[in-house]
Every structure is written in C-alpha cells, then in structure tokens.
Amino acid sequence: MTTFTEPMRALTLRLDDELFAIRAESVREILDLVPVTEVPNSTAFAFGLINVRGRVVPLANLKVAFGMAEVEPDQDTRIVVIETEIDQEPTVVGIVADKVYDVTDIEPAAIEEAPRVGMRWRPDYVRGIGKRRGDFIIIPDMQRIFEIEGRRSGTSTAEERSAS
C-alpha cells in the first residue's frame, strides 16, 4: 500500500453499490455517455474506444476488474477521463462510472491498508480504504489495474498509446 502523508484530493464515484475515490489530479474531464466504438476481440475490461476532443481514448470498465455485476447505463452514468501511468508511460484512458459525486479531501489518518482477508476484490487492486462521514471509500490502484487487466486484453499498452 502507498502511505498517505497528506490529504488525498479525490473524485468520488460509484461503481455498483460501492464508493470509490480516484486522485483528482489524474482526472482530465468528466463526460456524459458518448458513442463507443467497440474493438473486435476486446475483453470486457477494455471494451472500446471513444473520441475525446479528436483524440482516440481507450475505454475501460472497472467493474470487470472488481468482479461487479454489469447494469445498463442510465442518466447518472458518466465517463471519467483520467491520466494514469502504464509501463512507465503517461496514458489517457476513460473509465465508466455509475455515478460521479464530488471532489473531496480524504485525510491520511482516515486511510487504512486494504485487509488481505475478507475482501471480495484482489487486494493488489486496492491502494487503501478511506473513511468519510461513516462511509468506506475504496481507493483503487489504477496503474496496477490497467497494467494487469490491459495485458489480459491481448493488446499491448504500447499499441493502445500509438492509437491515441
């Protein structure tokens, strides 16, 4: 786990019934649903491409990485465009969120290491568990998720970067 020594400025969002927080600094923009170009032979995780201001951006479904049930998009569904490091290269990707809430600060004292037992997700996909107003907030390790799940897609991250 990463040790948090100062407040984490985070964008909070919902996947299934869980609250997640991603570093606000990594967020490029938040989009309403846009047309998705499905990629032949892609996986459920990295399932398509979107056009973000003329740039081709891979679109990923974090619910696949976390083993969550898929639901039909609704009026709250958003695409969060982030920059994350994949194989030591900054890469812009989109992730689907069931709902985007707000930007908040999570104090270091409110972030704990993810338990190794009793979690339904891969512990290496979780940087920590935060607490805010009595709610647990999952802090995913976006870099690790994209490196591992991206390799499973059969498309190298170098190919994805050259497509953008």
3-state secondary structure of 119: coil
Nearest to 91 by CA among 114, 68, 57: 57
Domain span at residue 103 reads 8-163
Q: pLDDT tens, 106-143?
A: 988 888 887 776 667 788 899 999 888 888 899 999 99
Residue 158 has pLDDT above 50, yes or no: no
Residue 1 lies in a domain: no
Is residue 112 one of the residues assigned to a domain? Answer: yes
| Residue 40 in domain | yes
Task: Provide the token pair at 89.
Answer: 């290269």
Count of structural domains within the chain? 1
What is the H or E stretch that residue 127 is in? strand 126-132
Distance, CA of 140 to CA of 33 (rounded, Å):
22
> What's the pTM value of the predicted model, to 2 decimals?
0.86
List the CATH number of the domain containing 114: 2.40.50.180
In a domain, 3, yes or no: no
